[in-house]
Structure 1
Amino acid sequence: MIDLCGFQSEGLIILNSVFSGQLLDVLWQNTRRRVCADGGANRVFDLRRYTPDAVVGDLDSIRSDVTDFYADRIFRVADQDRNDLDKAIDYLRDAKSIAILGAFRGRFDQVMATFDAMHRWNEISMRLYGDENVATLLAPGIHTIRVRAGIEGPHCGLVPIGAPCVVSTEGLEWNLNNQRLEFGHLVSTSNLIRSDTVTVRTSHPLVWTTEFHLDRLPTSLG
């Protein structure tokens, strides 16, 4: 079962984007290995001064004071054919699940690069987090998704990525029944969750995304 708002992942990658200290706290506490992608270290330093396992990238965005503070954690990878997120994923490539924090803010090209990375590294279960959105990639097959009412939803979306998808769902206001999702044809945006579990069957990789209410997080998650 997929449980995006249970927040459990083996690894955490922090991007150079805008996110709250509260969301950083939640993800940090629910992962075992934490990596900053280049300037993501600036965000961690400014919000909490946590110590990540590594700071990975070409280091063109990290500030000098942050470099000094994390000096023994710096791994410079000078490969202009890969972005810093790819380099951070490569550092955690033995992880089966990775949370990516800061996936929805900042430059649109970088947001799209994050979704591209999730599609290309599809052997790893990746969850994307921001202060207002969560998302993951559903592989071809049948998926059961736990929905934590109040924390996420009711709005949700099913977005094809890489190829058209034939999709069926249960648990939504407007369920799909072997319908083709494709840009230029039909994309299920602004749908509504109507159950505490949603079932999705897809023929090809498909993004599942919901709105996220950070201010409603309970003190503990069961």
Structure 2
Amino acid sequence: MLKINKPLVIVANGEFPKNSIGLNILKKAKFIICCDGAADKLLKNGYTPNLIIGDFDSISEINYTEYRGITLKVLDQSKNDLRKAIDFSIKNNINELSIIGASGFREDHLIGNIFSLYKYPNTKIKIFTDTGTFQLINKSQKIKSFKGQQVSFFLEDKTIKITSSNLKYNFNKSTLNNLFSGTLNESKENYFNLEISHGTLLLYKKYK
């Protein structure tokens, strides 16, 4: 039986991280899941996956053959390989995980990967890109930040009301009528407060 240790990191088949934050997340991982061809990039950079998930249409034949013992073939074409990896993690009681390699190359894949988080509202999943992080916020809370940090907010549900403090442009029971309406904000302190009336908000925070 496969033993899954924490912290768990999923490596998507986008651009391999260059930023030290994403690389440090990978170095600290106790269990690494690769999405199909991401295994080639991971191995090329000196890391070894614990599990490779996908339909195996992008991994090299050499690596597929060598690491076949840790592969899990999932043919469900209604899901991309990243969602297959997340679903596997949740099925194995891992609700807190990090994702790297979700950005770069095709922008439509990036958008799809980011908004896939909405499928998992009761988890603690963070996507680490080379510029910042994406995560879901599903309750009012104090959020760690730093003065001058660039932040953006996205809502699928236009009825959600947001109230905030310590932002350059604060909300006061505000709704966001468009996906871009909550972008290009800024933290004024080492934390900011967010209150949401209900539902889930997608937060982006840029690195220092």
Is the TM value for this pair above 0.5? yes
Give me the identity figure in percent. 21
Q: 1:29 aligns with which of 7, 23, 27?
A: 27
The match for 1:39 is: 37
CA change 1:122–1:87 in 2 (3 A) is same
Q: Which amino acid aligns with 1:85?
A: L
Q: 2:168 aligns with which of 167, 173, 176?
A: 173
The CA RMSD measured in Å over matched residues stands at: 2.1
CA shift at 1:87, angstroms?
1.0
Distance in 1, matches of 2:157 and 2:54, equals 26
The match for 2:143 is: 145
Distance in 2, matches of 1:44 and 1:22, equals 15
CA shift at 1:24, angstroms?
4.6
CA shift at 1:112, angstroms?
2.2
Q: Which amino acid aligns with 1:60?
A: D
CA change 1:133–1:41 in 2 (3 A) is same
The match for 1:3 is: none
1:99-130 Cα shifts (integer Å, max 9, x gaps):
11123322222112212321011221110111
Contact 1:21 1:47 in 2 (8 A): no
CA change 1:92–1:29 in 2 (3 A) is same
Distance in 2, matches of 1:183 and 1:46, equals 41
Q: Which runs of 5+ in 1 are unaligned?
A: 1-8, 214-222
The match for 2:74 is: 77
Distance in 2, matches of 1:83 and 1:46, equals 23
The match for 1:112 is: 111
CA change 1:188–1:21 in 2 (3 A) is closer
Count of aligned positions: 199
The match for 1:6 is: none
Q: Which amino acid aligns with 1:88?
A: A
CA change 1:211–1:78 in 2 (3 A) is same
Normalised by the length of structure 2, the TM-score is 0.86
The match for 1:102 is: 101
* SS in structure 1 at match of 2:25: helix
1:52-109 Cα shifts (integer Å, max 9, x gaps):
2100011111112322342321111111122111110122111121111123322222
The match for 2:185 is: 191
Distance in 2, matches of 1:167 and 1:138, equals 11
Normalised by the length of structure 1, the TM-score is 0.81
CA change 1:70–1:163 in 2 (3 A) is farther
Distance in 1, matches of 2:107 and 2:66, equals 30
